[in-house]
Structure 1
């Protein structure tokens, strides 16, 4: 009975010492000396270490004496067993390798691993002679891995040294695997070199990772190239199998040749000339980024060196290649997508992860390494140090990122050592986190201390685009503390060009103007600009974005709330950068109404406002100015400017579709007309010193009437008046003409905002007819002289401003003309078709490509609208739902009435939306109207990006437009001309 209490007392003692399961530890340690057991409490995971130590003691009866006699072996062994269950298991299977832990250096790995597979490294033709070379290779490899891990975990080797040794060990394993492959594959007609890529090439490999390689071959003198390449391919395949094949000792790792030309779709082995031909003609920038790491690791050393020397010239000239900027931007977007897609616990691809740091360092090397050979380093930490010495990265920034990188790599190694499995995902379990924390030196609160350190380093690394790419640009032009490194002007220009700035010199001037000085304003700009430069770079037109930002900042920089808002509200600054870098139109509005920046804070502030709300504000603005008509209309135009900006931003960020944009712009134009009309009437009454002797109304026509205004739309209107009983016809007509003239004058006064031009040319008799008619005159004209085109024009007529009762009376007259009882007769239908054909032939601008003209081209706006209007003219008398001024509503009503096939209607609607969006996008991007898809490639790219296409999606945009309009034209041919 005394045995159990002894176990229990031992268990309690071990639990107090730090073993998580004291009872289990007591049972396991029953045959081990107490001093050796108690010494385990200092390791990362005492319970894990005790398990392996107990099993190893069973295989090595003299283990206790060995550990007491050699403190170095004991320290190394305990450190490994406390972290790695896999290496503990390996030692149990191969206890003789314990002696390896006593060695300061195991000698050259390549010779040892070649010997393990029975190959003489000094012989010209190594032969595999071992009984089972793949098993022997794995045993030898893991023994050396054990030695590296022991010195790593005891702090004898720095992390950079560990990565170098792991990479060299992998190269040695590849050399041994190639020796096995040559023994299995007869023939000696080819030279084969294995080029290490990725972390292997850079000598910064993990404990467990896919090993990236490229195979290059050359036929020996006199050998047939085809046969030699076939042999080389078999050798490469056998080499890969020798590393990845499952054996009683497991596998080493996967060999990944996916970075070769054409990836997995390309041949596994190429000659040097074939590689170079591909890189010179087809390679993308990311492939040169990958080649930064290329290093010969196995096989024919001379051929490997020739390969690396040849591709190195291409790597460092990549920045001069066409499309470099676009490729750089695409790489940045890929990293951002990874950051968004991967969870924060992903050490490699997550936010603030290893890939963030590696990517930024490599990008800076590509940009500046062409002119600065000192930056041409393979590994991340040496490259970062060189960037710091050269002034491309601030010293403190480089130090912080190097520390973050080193910490993350140590954590990655600890994760992989546990089971010798490829992983980058931080665990969530407390036991696993405790093991990580203790392995990294935390004692009081291992989990809390580790988590805090990890999050701190990740936050620091996550700022890499600001810290590595943008802030040094400020250092190049601003008066910053001397402790900060500075870029040369040439280096700053190269970096801006790589980011996509077309005029980097101009961009530098803007940066200097914004950030130079000792004022609070300049200090805040120095905080803002590094972030905003990146957001501008992500916009279609970075140069325009930075210029617009400077212009707005010049106007608002002294306003206390402006820079604080941008600094404290990230969403405002980000959205502002996107708008300024996309739309010259919106930028122009903002520079003349800079306080509208405040609208960018939330989606709710960007929703277009109701017409009645706007009208109340506009009427109030007019009333505040009394008899000062010019000032009253200026206030209304300022309101319009702000609302145009609100609608444009809602459009750009996807908060309003094309129908809502058209309605919002039309409502805004109505409100402007109503408020300006009030001012015009007041002015006329003041000048005449009498009330207006007639009622007056503005009838909207065209796109305004259809509630389909674009940013470039004029106000197509007609003016109608009705004399009061006490007035003579002459008095009423003179007053009505005076009101119409004042309205046009007031709205066309020079002002810093887009004008609302009045276009009255759709009136009876066009420009030859009177500007204003009475209601009775309109009725008489239409009854006697109306032609089919005028009936068609009246389909858009609706009351816009002025006397609502008079407007209703006019539309009642219009109804009789546009919805004729019984519909159009066939002669009128033929006339409309003839007019349409004539318009297509005569109105297209000279030199314009019909296929790219959004209004008059095949399948464009005019095609769709004429189809809708013909349906209205023929059937609206019998189908009340067709009595609308809006095109898409007409198409929907025609489908419901069975007058148009639903599929045809959708094709037409898609074309109408597409053409309308393009017209609006042209105005938004260029700041001036246009009806044709731009022929200039850069302008077309900007339009495409604004419409949501990728930066390289210009041709996709063009293809989509042609497809949509081609389908629409087919419907038009059938429905308009044949039905």
Structure 2
């Protein structure tokens, strides 16, 4: 094991040798000549005592400037004394760190007492808790000091209403006395971010608020922080009472499974896979890197926090004392304990010498060989290469023992995470920042801050310890899954929206933890399908349908006793789940596009049937018995069974009144139609079903919402425009009286085939296509419907062929069926049928994914990489570039066919 060797026997000679290597120590010689003289005359112990005495006396000085000067001069003396003791080997590590911490205690108390006195306040009820290394008497040479400052609102400032404001002012004054840089430098850099919820709380936290915080959302990493807590300044007795009050939070006699799993998961996130190259790095971070000081501290603290509730003798603040206790308890092998203890002392010794170079709070060995050689020499080693190897060996031993911690649990929950993923503490962990950058996240600090807020219970899903534990365990896999989407920032943003929308996260987090593919599916969905992601954000409970389907694959039977609104909500709940499942299966290649179109359409058919039944019951309840029969016909995409995610429903409502009640029947069926539209389209607490479009009914918007069969017959044969007959080719009865629906279909087919002469119909169709091109241009290159050679062109070609076929059997609502039948009847050639059917299948495959994912027509540069990959997969293309080439070829073929059959779009 590497040894830290003294530079000389005497403190003065060792310090002198150190000043030749460390610029900061050399500056001390120039800035504190009196201290150097005392060091020469009486040695480092006397100089150290003098520094302590000066720091303590600073509390009684009158002015702010006097206090600041005295503390800074004392700090220079103390740094000189400690360096002399350390470099000469005159004191062991625990004495060196203990002396640094003792000086910090005196300096903090002097600053606090001065700040209080200058505001005319007493320290009663206000106290400083030392945390981290300061709490454990383990400060390093140039350490920040971690503290949390509290006040009892009933005691401090005699309990005045503004006690909190006064306490925060005192804290700011105190920190200024310590941190402000003057000609004499500074005393300590301070860090108050280990207080409860530092982003939302003032510098001085009331004891009442702190108690509530730790009882409700205190985290396991905070419990580990509080292992080292001690009262160090101010009202010491109040501080000791506060620590005693928190004892049940820190030391739990019985830790449940989720708390233990959370502690183990925190460990898994820290260097969960360390490569040999990491340990061979000659410029490692000796604190945070693999095999570093933090791993030793965590090795001890995790076992203390798990077992210390039952075994009070494990509750040591100091790392090495805690390690010895674990060895004595039989929890750690004696040889392992000895190696870790030696490694800790070596790493801390090197850390001190790194910081002696420039008085900087750094733990990284310099990259430059010249600077690293200085550190090696400060450690008593002339051979840099040998020193580097020895440091690497020490770190390798530490990392080996650290990785063995919870090794069995690690094997049960293997993770492929490479690098740090740490979201505890208050600073952005440098290793975590690097890991997140490698994963493709553009702003790692945003990710870290968001996750930290989740851990603080700032979203309902993590307000329980179990929720926080589950989240901790999921994070590595979750972030890796986001990276694999190719859109990690987008995936994280949408996951945040989804996760923070959960009313209670235990069930969802448990599902994600226990279902192997569910997490990957969820993240992919969120990354590439914003439309589906919005649905999940509004209704996160839908996720449960993926693993625990309700069994309601078929529509519910409506209760006739239930009121209209209850029936509407019941159908919406069922439809939401079914629609989500269809979309999810389509997105993840578990449902081909053609089958998805049929599934969406069947779902809509069922919803129309259910809501029509409910509307008929409600209308009869309000307006009396049904005076005849009704039928609902589907047109457009629903008629052709080509529905996509978010499609409107084009509907037509036809009725046949009983003899003698024709006038009254019209009123009844109008009310029925209005209720049906409401039942389908109105927004309730459960959402809406579909937008309903009734513009294809006879006379369009000016016509009645429900049309009698006689009026329907008369209009289609006498008044319908050619474009209306084209739309009518897609009529398909979906609900109501079957015989009436069949009559309507027969009327439609007869009107489609018989009517205007062929030449006039062809002129109408060409004029209609040109007008549509002019008035509704495509909204992007990937507007599959309106782009030249897109679905509108394909439909026009097919519908013209039906209108001109002369055969009612050729009028069919579904594209493939109609094209093949027209081919069999000779109305289309075999090549034309092939062009239509293959082009339709290709475009439908794109449109199904596109509408599900983004819900709009876009240009290709607006597609995410994940969506491009999914579109290529859906169309059996190797790459998106292949898809683009095929898309151009298909639209060109359809455009050519339209020119041949109908005419060009240009009128010149």
Normalized against structure 1, the TM-score is what? 0.48
Task: Tell me the distance in 1 between the aligned counterparts of 2:804 and 2:718.
Answer: 20
CA distance in 2, matches of 1:461, 1:732: 70
Partner of 1:685: 620
Residues 536 and 543, structure 2, Cα contact 8 Å, conserved in 1: yes
State the shift of 1:535 in Å. 1.0
Asked whether 1:623 is paired with 2:564, we answer no
Q: Quick check: 1:680–1:742 contact (8 Å CA) kept in 2?
A: yes
After superposition, the Cα gap between the structure-2 partners of 1:490 and 1:824, relative to the gap in structure 1 and judged at 3 Å, is farther
Aligned counterpart in structure 1 of residue 843 of structure 2, from 903, 915, 925: 915
1:933 match: secondary structure = coil
SS in 2 for 1:703: helix
Change in Cα spacing, 1:874 to 1:392, as seen in structure 2 (3 Å) is: farther
Q: How far, CA to CA, are the matches of 2:521 and 2:498 in structure 1?
A: 14
Q: Which runs of 5+ in 2 are unaligned?
A: 1-270, 300-403, 458-463
Cα deviations by residue, 1:701-760 (Å, 9 ceiling, x for unpaired): 1111111111121110111111123x5222111111111111222333224645411101
Query: For the residues of structure 1 that align with 2:273 and 2:879, how far apart are their CA atoms?
Result: 25
Q: 1:585 aligned to 498, 517, 531, which one?
A: 531
Q: Report the alpha carbon displacement of residue 895 of structure 1 after superposing the two structures with TM.
A: 4.0
Q: Does 1:874 align with 2:810?
A: no
- More divergent stretch after superposition (716-725 vs 384-393): 384-393
Match of 2:343 in 1: none
Matched, 1:701 2:635: yes
1:399-423 deviation line (CA, Å, top 9, x unaligned) = 99xxxxxxxxxxxxxxxxxxxxxxx
Q: CA deviation at 1:494?
A: 5.1
CA–CA distance in 2 between the matches of 1:564 and 1:386?
38
Equivalent in the alignment of 2:512: 566
Distance 1:922 1:790, change over 3 A: same
* 1:934 alignment counterpart: 859
Q: Would the alpha carbon gap of residues 536 and 733 (structure 1) be closer, same or farther in structure 2, given more than 3 Å must change?
A: same
Structure 2 matches for 1:452-463, cutoff 5 A?
none
Provide the rounded CA distance (Å) in 1 between the counterparts of 2:832 and 2:296. 60
1:891 alignment counterpart = 819
Structure 1 856/391 Cα, relative in aligned 2: closer, same or farther at 3 Å?
Answer: same
Backbone CA RMSD of aligned residues = 4.1
SS at structure 2 position matched to 1:614: coil
Q: Distance in 2 between matches of 1:947 and 1:872?
A: 32
Cα deviations across residues 664-689 of structure 1 (Å, max 9, x unaligned)?
A: 1111111111111222222222222x
Q: 1:747 to 1:541 in 2, by over 3 A?
A: farther
Matching residue of 1:813: 747
Aligned to 2:159: none
Identify which range, 756-765 or 948-957, moves more after superposition: 948-957
Check the 8 A contact 2:415/2:477 in 1, yes or no.
Answer: no
Question: Aligned partners of 2:642, 2:775: CA distance in 1, in Å?
Answer: 25
Maintained 8 Å contact 2:529/2:867:
no
Q: 1:388 to 1:791 in 2, by over 3 A?
A: farther
CA deviation vs aligned residue, 1:935-966 (integer Å, no higher than 9, x gap): 6x343545413314699966554444223312
Cα distance in 2 for partners of 1:756, 1:591 equals: 19
Taking CA–CA contacts closer than 8 Å with sequence separation of 6 or more, which of the two structures ends up with the larger relative contact order?
2
Q: Deviations over 1:19-72 (max 9, x none)?
A: xxxxxxxxxxxxxxxxxxxxxxxxxxxxxxxxxxxxxxxxxxxxxxxxxxxxxx
Aligned match for 1:526, one of 460, 463, 472: 472
CA gap 1:892/1:730 in 2 versus in 1, 3 angstroms: same
- 1:465 pairs with 2:405: no
1:538–1:894 distance in 2 versus 1, CA, 3 Å: farther
Aligned residues between the structures: 520
In 2: Cα distance, 1:631 partner to 1:977 partner: 52
Residues 461 and 672 of structure 1: is their aligned pair in 2 closer, same or farther, counting only changes over 3 Å? closer
- Alignment of 1:382 with 2:308, yes or no, is no
Among residues 962, 965, 974, which one is paired with 2:888 in the alignment? 962
Q: Distance in 2 between matches of 1:559 and 1:461?
A: 23
Helix, strand or coil for the counterpart of 1:716? Answer: strand
CA contact (8 A) 1:640 1:672 kept: yes
> Could you list the per-position Cα deviations for residues 484-516 of structure 1 after superposition, in whole angstroms to 9, with x for gaps in the alignment?
xx9725664554344233554443344234444
- The alpha-carbon distance between structure 1 residues 728 and 506, as it changes in their structure 2 partners (threshold 3 A), is farther
For 1:842 and 1:397, the matched residues in 2 are separated by 72
Please give the residue correspondences for 1:282-681 in structure 2 after superposition, counting only pairs within 5 Å: 379=277, 381-383=279-281, 386=284, 389-391=287-289, 465-466=416-417, 468-469=418-419, 472-473=420-421, 475-476=422-423, 478=424, 488=428, 492-493=432-433, 495-502=435-442, 504-516=444-456, 519-554=465-500, 558=504, 561-601=507-547, 614-615=554-555, 617=556, 620=557, 622-623=558-559, 626-681=561-616
Are 1:949 and 1:957, in contact at CA under 8 Å, matched by a contact in 2?
no
1:925 is aligned to 853
* Contact kept? 2:597, 2:848, Cα under 8 Å: no
Q: Distance in 2 between matches of 1:548 and 1:946?
A: 18
Q: Are the aligned partners of 2:615 and 2:676 in contact in 1 as well (CA < 8 Å)?
A: yes
SS at match of 1:800: strand
- Residues 1:866 and 1:550: Cα distance change in structure 2 (over 3 Å): same
Q: Distance in 1 between matches of 2:811 and 2:732?
A: 11
- Residue by residue over 1:315-362, the C-alpha shift from the partner in whole angstroms, topping out at 9 and shown as x without a partner, is xxxxxxxxxxxxxxxxxxxxxxxxxxxxxxxxxxxxxxxxxxx99879
| C-alpha distance in 1 between matches for 2:651 and 2:282 | 66
3-state SS in 2 of match to 1:721? strand
Quote the Cα distance in structure 1 between the aligned partners of 2:291 and 2:818.
Answer: 61
> Structure 1: 5+ residue runs without aligned partners?
1-357, 363-377, 401-452, 480-485
Q: Which SS does the other structure have where 1:581 is aligned?
A: helix
User: What's the TM-score, normalizing by structure 2?
Assistant: 0.51
1:596–1:790 Cα change, 3 Å: same
CA deviation after TM superposition for structure 1 residue 380, in Å? 5.2
For residues 397 and 810 of structure 1, what CA distance do their matches in structure 2 show?
82
Q: 1:594/1:940 Cα in 2 relative to 1: closer, same or farther (>3 Å)?
A: closer
Cα offsets for 1:415-434 (capped at 9, x unmatched): xxxxxxxxxxxxxxxxxxxx
Write the mapping of 1:733-772 to structure 2, written as runs, cut at 5 A: 733-751=666-684, 753=687, 755-772=689-706
Cα deviations across residues 249-283 of structure 1 (Å, max 9, x unaligned)? xxxxxxxxxxxxxxxxxxxxxxxxxxxxxxxxxxx
Q: Deviations over 1:385-410 (max 9, x none)?
A: 9377544898769999xxxxxxxxxx
CA distance in 2, matches of 1:660, 1:397: 57
Farther-moved stretch of structure 1 (391-400 vs 773-782):
391-400
With over 3 angstroms needed to count, the CA separation of the structure-2 counterparts of 1:623 and 1:495, relative to structure 1, is: same
1:840 aligns with 2:780: no
Q: CA deviation at 1:863?
A: 1.1
CA distance in 2, matches of 1:526, 1:957: 40
Instruction: Give the superposition deviation at 1:641.
Output: 1.0
Structure 1, residues 516-558: CA drift from partner, whole Å, max 9, x if none? Answer: 4670111111111211211122125434433444454456574
CA contact (8 A) 1:918 1:933 kept: no
Q: Offset of 1:577 from its aligned partner?
A: 2.1
Tell me what 1:803 maps to.
737
Aligned match of 1:944 in 868, 871, 884? 868
Q: State the Cα distance separating 1:585 from its structure 2 match.
A: 2.1
Q: CA deviation at 1:916?
A: 3.2
Residue 680 of structure 2 contacts residue 688 of structure 2 at CA under 8 Å; is this kept in 1?
no
| CA–CA distance in structure 1, aligned partners of residues 695 and 521 of structure 2 | 40
